Structure 1
Amino acid sequence: MEKLKFTFQVKPTTDGKSNYIAITAIVTEDEKYFLIPEEFQAISQHTYIQTSKTFVTVKNTLKKRHQTRSVWIKTTEDILKTYVDEDGNMIFQNQFLEETTKEQLTVVSKTCSEDPIAKILEKLIENQEKKEKQSIKKLADKFVIEKFDGKSSNANQWMEVFEKECERFNVLKDEERIEIFRLFLEKSCTDWYSSMIIKLTLHSEWLQWKSSFIQTYANKGWTTSKYALSFKYQYGSLLEYAVKKEKLLLEVRKTIDEGTLIDIIAAGLPDFITDRINKEEILHTKDLFSELGKLEHLVAKKKNIKKKTIPSK
């Protein structure tokens, strides 16, 4: 025999919560039909078929429960030894396979797909999946992380925060992380996500997504660093300036020590503000923020003086 036709079907597990691919029947070149016993149908028991190139395509084709595909597979020596004995009888796991007809095989397949219990279980699973999708959106609202737009954040540090939030809310499965990941991307990053879905699909490894994300959005130039360092107070709230400056610096280098952080934030403030702050008393950024809050009135006062000195027309 040069080839055998195998019938693959997506079947529900015993508890109905997930699916598995099964081989339900084998057809020979002379159109003889043989049934695989239910206890031997799981693809995991068919090693040589599972590792064939044809099965990769079958696996990508079968997406929904009860779907079937019958495909020819070229027989190797290992496949022949597994399914055909020395006398040409169809066997599997040391058992002779039951021969049937094409019509009977069709009836069996149709009965399995129309099993009322299976239909009820399938409906329950669909409802559960809908609830899980809704809960993922609710869960995303609890994540303490800004959306990533590819411009304002350090990709490595952003990804580190995202993974910690996933762990905090027990989002550990690859598929769940990939799904919730989409909710934290915006602007051109959503196009990148769509491309990745086409290339890898939702049922892929999270590490592949993480690696591609970092390679795509990692900061390879000095622009972000230079902007963070040169960012200075110009107008408005002193506290808002300081908080934004701290954020910019931490996005560039998370490991920056607090003393250096304080010095760089202070360097961007006007002299008439820093002259009123005792450097020795500022040990943490929160101390600096507290002092700046007390000095907000000086900025407002200076602004009013400028308005009064403008001559009227």
Structure 2
Amino acid sequence: MEKLKFTFQIKPAVDGKSNYIAITSIATQDDKVFLMPEEYQTVSLHKHIQTSKTFVTVKNTLKKRYQTRSVWIKTTEDILQTYVDEDGNMIFRDQFLEETTQEQLAFANKKCSEDSIMKVLEKIIESQQNKENQSIKKLAERFVIEKFDGKNSSAYQWMEVFEKECARFDIVKEEQKIEIFRLFLEKSCTDWYSSMMMKLTLHSEWSEWKSDFLQTYANKGWATSKYALSFKYQAGSLLEYAVKKERLLLEVRKTMDEGTLIDIIAAGLPDFITDRINKEEIVHTKNLFNELGRLEHLVAKKKFIKKKEDTKMTREKCSICEKLKKGVRYHSEDSCWFKEKINTEKDKKQIKLINNSELECELQCEDQKN
């Protein structure tokens, strides 16, 4: 064999970013073609080919991924020993190479190029999907809605707000709605979502998800309504109470008119606050909020007076300090520094009294003897 035809191709590396030159097949002068095993295709394993002048030209020619060149290379003794055995069989590293035809090789190359195109398309689709997912997450960050945890007052009102937000950001595809829906669920609701995903999958109708959600989390009792109506001001900010009360009432019934809202909010306020508000001037809830903001100082003042009275109640004169003429001091007798001293004096007086009584008994006994 005076020469052999080597087919070179630029292939992507495992990381998908870098490339390498591969020897995919070797052909003889009588048109026999032998395939190089995948694990031995990298040109770095073919040292005698790398040192040839032809390879330098091939290296300069191949510049794009999947480009191929089939070139004849004059066989040297080293090349023959590397690729041909004593019996004329094509080998490489003690392995016989698989023989094929030019037609089969052309078909294999075509299939390989098609596979590579499919891989490229798959990567493009995957990157587009990632971009869509990222854009959905960015949109979700702009949604003006709190997360649903199963304890929200009204599942119907929450769902209504969610669908309005989807419409505001032109999210009309059912798959996108179902996907973004997950981002606004938390706690036990995430388990419900996982179960629904197993039952319906992502490629189902949004109406099915919505119906199941409302049937699961719709509030069927009176507890929420009773709590909203009975909620009263206890302490803290008047404005904070009023805002929270309004939210609770609207969660129970969104269609409640402002006049009813104002009356129910005012009913939970202390009398000394409502007595200072002119009902005829309160037309909107914002008017009531403004008045409550103006009257916040009354709550703070009452709190301060109460604290001052409590402080006076706890201050007591210490009788021990008074007896010892240490001045008027306010603290409990148990914590008095002079408590031990006065107790010692009491003990001494008691001992003195006992001794005097014993002496009196002895004298009376002596008088009786005489």
* TM tier relative to shorter chain: 0.5 to 0.7
What corresponds to 1:283 in structure 2?
A: 283
CA deviation after TM superposition for structure 1 residue 312, in Å? 2.5
Distance change (3 Å), C-alpha of 1:172 and 1:291: same
Where in structure 1 do 4 or more consecutive aligned residues deviate above 3 Å?
A: 110-114
Partners of 1:212 and 1:223 in 2: CA distance: 22
Partners of 1:213 and 1:244 in 2: CA distance: 26
Q: Is 1:146 aligned to residue 139 of structure 2?
A: no
CA deviation after TM superposition for structure 1 residue 111, in Å? 3.5
What corresponds to 1:246 in structure 2?
A: 246
- Residue 250 of structure 1 aligns with an amino acid whose one-letter code is L
Distance change (3 Å), C-alpha of 1:197 and 1:112: farther
- Higher normalized contact order (CA 8 Å, seq sep 6+, divided by chain length): 1
Partners of 1:280 and 1:113 in 2: CA distance: 83
Q: Is 1:266 aligned to residue 266 of structure 2?
A: yes
Partners of 1:113 and 1:203 in 2: CA distance: 32
Q: Is 1:301 aligned to residue 293 of structure 2?
A: no
What corresponds to 1:19 in structure 2?
A: none
- Residue 231 of structure 1 aligns with an amino acid whose one-letter code is F
- Residue 161 of structure 1 aligns with an amino acid whose one-letter code is V
Distance change (3 Å), C-alpha of 1:309 and 1:131: same
Partners of 2:202 and 2:243 in 1: CA distance: 38
CA deviation after TM superposition for structure 1 residue 207, in Å? 0.4
Partners of 1:255 and 1:292 in 2: CA distance: 24
What corresponds to 1:58 in structure 2?
A: none
Q: Normalization by structure 2: what TM-score?
A: 0.54
SS at match of 1:171: coil
Taking only aligned residues, the RMSD between alpha carbons, in angstroms, comes to 1.9
Partners of 2:132 and 2:112 in 1: CA distance: 27
Q: How does 1:181-220 map to 2 (within 5 A)?
A: 181-220=181-220
Partners of 1:150 and 1:255 in 2: CA distance: 22
Partners of 1:251 and 1:173 in 2: CA distance: 28
What corresponds to 1:57 in structure 2?
A: none
What corresponds to 2:358 in structure 1?
A: none
Spell out, residue by residue over 1:131-185, the C-alpha distance to the aligned partner (whole angstroms, 9 max, x if none): 1111111111111111111112300011000000000011111111111111111
CA deviation after TM superposition for structure 1 residue 306, in Å? 0.9
Partners of 1:306 and 1:149 in 2: CA distance: 40
What corresponds to 1:173 in structure 2?
A: 173
SS at match of 1:170: coil
Q: How does 1:40-119 map to 2 (within 5 A)?
A: 111=111, 115-119=115-119
Partners of 1:286 and 1:147 in 2: CA distance: 26
Spell out, residue by residue over 1:46-80, the C-alpha distance to the aligned partner (whole angstroms, 9 max, x if none): xxxxxxxxxxxxxxxxxxxxxxxxxxxxxxxxxxx
Partners of 2:253 and 2:160 in 1: CA distance: 13
Distance change (3 Å), C-alpha of 1:212 and 1:113: farther
CA deviation after TM superposition for structure 1 residue 266, in Å? 0.6
CA deviation after TM superposition for structure 1 residue 119, in Å? 1.6
Partners of 1:168 and 1:219 in 2: CA distance: 27
Partners of 2:194 and 2:292 in 1: CA distance: 44
Partners of 2:241 and 2:113 in 1: CA distance: 64
What corresponds to 2:155 in structure 1?
A: 155
Spell out, residue by residue over 1:77-129, the C-alpha distance to the aligned partner (whole angstroms, 9 max, x if none): xxxxxxxxxxxxxxxxxxxxxxxxxxx9xx89x94995322221210110111
Partners of 1:254 and 1:153 in 2: CA distance: 11
What corresponds to 1:121 in structure 2?
A: 121
Distance change (3 Å), C-alpha of 1:286 and 1:116: same
Distance change (3 Å), C-alpha of 1:113 and 1:193: farther
Partners of 1:222 and 1:213 in 2: CA distance: 20
Q: Is 1:312 aligned to residue 314 of structure 2?
A: yes
Structure 1 residues 118-127 or 160-169, which shifts more?
A: 118-127
Partners of 2:228 and 2:112 in 1: CA distance: 64
> Does the CA contact (< 8 Å) of 2:246 and 2:265 recur in 1?
yes
- Residue 139 of structure 1 aligns with an amino acid whose one-letter code is L
> Does the CA contact (< 8 Å) of 2:153 and 2:219 recur in 1?
no
Q: Normalization by structure 1: what TM-score?
A: 0.63
- Residue 145 of structure 1 aligns with an amino acid whose one-letter code is I
Partners of 1:113 and 1:237 in 2: CA distance: 72
Partners of 1:261 and 1:226 in 2: CA distance: 15
Structure 2 residue runs without a partner (length 5+): 1-103, 316-370
Structure 1 residues 155-164 or 186-195, which shifts more?
A: 186-195
Structure number, greater radius of gyration: 2
Distance change (3 Å), C-alpha of 1:262 and 1:113: farther
CA deviation after TM superposition for structure 1 residue 187, in Å? 1.3
SS at match of 1:115: helix
Spell out, residue by residue over 1:271-304, the C-alpha distance to the aligned partner (whole angstroms, 9 max, x if none): 1111111100111111111111111111111111
SS at match of 1:151: coil
Instruction: Say how many residue pairs are matched.
Output: 207
Spell out, residue by residue over 1:217-244, the C-alpha distance to the aligned partner (whole angstroms, 9 max, x if none): 1111100000000001111111111111
What corresponds to 1:236 in structure 2?
A: 236
